[in-house]
Amino acid sequence: EAQVTQNPRYLITVTGKKLTVTCSQNMNHEYMSWYRQDPGLGLRQIYYSMNVEVTDKGDVPEGYKVSRKEKRNFPLILESPSPNQTSLYFCASSSWGNQPQHFGDGTRLSIL
């Protein structure tokens, strides 16, 4: 089954404790992206990657890191999480040619 898999689905943690949200897709997509969703703001792009070893900042990259060492994986790293990073996070992927993005099921992060 074609899918984008994120883990964990839920996480409650404390300020300053490094965490990683994993994202994996099995569709051989070149493009992958991370978004955060906040009430009244819709989805805002954090980082994106057009291919292996190619990443770039989106609209709200501060406080986040990503890597793309393999085509299928695109982890999101919060080195020192803060309460303003409490949000719902989505990973998405797509092939080239203006294809719509396929989304993971979301990760609810709470930073206390």
The residues binding another protein (CB under 8 A) are 31, 33, 35, 40-45, 48, 50, 58, 88, 90, 92, 94, 96, 98-101, 103, 105-106
Measured from the CB atom, is 40 or 69 closer to another protein? 40
| CA pair distance 71, 4, nearest whole angstrom | 13
Considering just the CA atoms, what is the radius of gyration of the chain in Å?
Answer: 13
User: What distance in Å separates the CA atoms of residue 33 and residue 76, rounded to the nearest whole number?
Assistant: 10
Helix, strand, coil abundance in the chain, percent, nearest 5: 5, 50, 45
What's the closest the beta carbon of residue 100 comes to another protein, in angstroms?
5
Least CB distance to another protein at residue 13 (A): 20
Minimum separation from the CB atom of position 97 to another protein (A): 9
Q: How many other C-beta atoms are found inside a 10 Å radius of the C-beta of residue 25?
A: 23
User: Measured from the CB atom, is 35 or 74 closer to another protein?
Assistant: 35
